[in-house]
Amino acid sequence: MLEFQSVGLSYGGVKALSGVNLLIQPGEQVCLIGPSGAGKSSLLGLMNGRLLASEGEVLLNGEKLAELSGKRLRERRAGIAWVPQDLGLVANLRVNQNVACGLAARKGLLGLLRSLLVMGRGEKKEIANLLRRVGIEEKIFSRVDHLSGGQQQRVAIARALYQEPQIILADEPVSAVDPERAKSLVHLLTSLAGEEGQTLVMSLHDVSLARRYFDRVIGMREGRIIMDGKPDEVGLEDLYRLDE
Ligand code: ADP
């Protein structure tokens, strides 16, 4: 469970978030929408402890993230996968090696290096299985910089799933692809997370995708949550007004 209690965040003098109260239950799929600069990335950054709140508290399963450090923080963060806007893939490594990087959170850097050097049979099978689930099994030995943007996004999704997280955070993961591809990627990520009962929090620019694939939509503007509910309840007009 993720909980925000009166959270504020400032970067120097810039106030990015204020008065954020939020509760996300395990297994929920939540979409953040709002114009650029609304605070979506900042909110996601607070959820996995990459950023620390300037005011209020962020709690993960009842524990205050700000009070965790060292091993305990690493362990908690291992349960949270992060799909960044730029995907964060290593361009000159192969697909299977990039997916294996999902282990860095679970096994630490040494564990990751070991599996990059000599990948065990079990790991190979698990990675092949994940790549089948994201629909690019045949690309397992390709270098990621030889793949299309959409295929690279699938690699980033497989890497996130390989971490076996309880929570997946994705920051506008489909901003760089055409609408058809964006639809299939959002569909893929929501259904894979749904199959595993994982919590998914994704920021999106596209209101129609948010409405189609999410039961809960959080609308943000100028660092505040201005609506939170089922897409039908929050109202299409209000959602569209966010894009103005
Ligand atoms: P969104 O993801 O909705 O585009 P962000 O969370 O990236 O919004 O940004 C919220 C606000 O915080 C914006 O005003 C942005 O300019 C500011 N901001 C974000 N990151 C930084 C940073 N590293 N330094 C200074 N200001 C930042």
Q: What is the CATH number of the domain that holds 48?
A: 3.40.50.300
For residues 55 and 19, state if they share a domain: yes
For residues 5 and 34, state if they share a domain: yes
For residues 175 and 160, state if they share a domain: no
Q: Which atom of ligand 1 is nearest to the CA of 42?
A: 6
pTM of the model: 0.92
Region 213-217 average pLDDT: 94
For residues 96 and 117, state if they share a domain: yes
Cα–Cα distance, 56 to 21 (Å, whole number)? 9
Band (101; pLDDT cuts 50, 70, 90)? confident
For residues 183 and 65, state if they share a domain: yes
Q: Which atom of ligand 1 is nearest to the CA of 220?
A: 3
For residue 39 and ligand 1, the question of a CB distance below 6 A is answered with yes
74 CA distance to ligand 1 middle (Å): 25
Cα–Cα distance, 141 to 169 (Å, whole number)? 26
What range defines the domain where residue 232 resides? 1-79+170-244
- DSSP letter for 138, please: G
20 CA distance to ligand 1 middle (Å): 15
User: What is the tally of structural domains in the chain?
Assistant: 2
For residues 160 and 103, state if they share a domain: yes
Region 128-149 average pLDDT: 94
For residues 139 and 194, state if they share a domain: no
Band (242; pLDDT cuts 50, 70, 90)? low
For residue 16 and ligand 1, the question of a CB distance below 6 A is answered with yes
Q: Which pLDDT does position 244 carry in this prediction?
A: 54
Cα–Cα distance, 239 to 232 (Å, whole number)? 10
Q: Of 136, 164, 192, which marks where a domain is finished?
A: 164
- Residue type for position 164: E
Q: Which pLDDT does position 82 carry in this prediction?
A: 92
> Which stretch of DSSP H or E encloses residue 52?
none
For residue 160 and ligand 1, the question of a CB distance below 6 A is answered with no
Q: Of 133, 164, 195, which marks where a domain is finished?
A: 164
For residues 17 and 42, state if they share a domain: yes
Evaluate whether 206 touches 182 at the Cβ level (below 8 Å): yes
Q: Does the pLDDT value for residue 56 go beyond 70?
A: yes
Q: Of 98, 130, 164, which marks where a domain is finished?
A: 164
Give me the percent of the chain exceeding a pLDDT of 90. 67
For residues 92 and 160, state if they share a domain: yes
For residues 64 and 180, state if they share a domain: yes
Give me the percent of the chain exceeding a pLDDT of 70. 89
For residues 244 and 175, state if they share a domain: yes
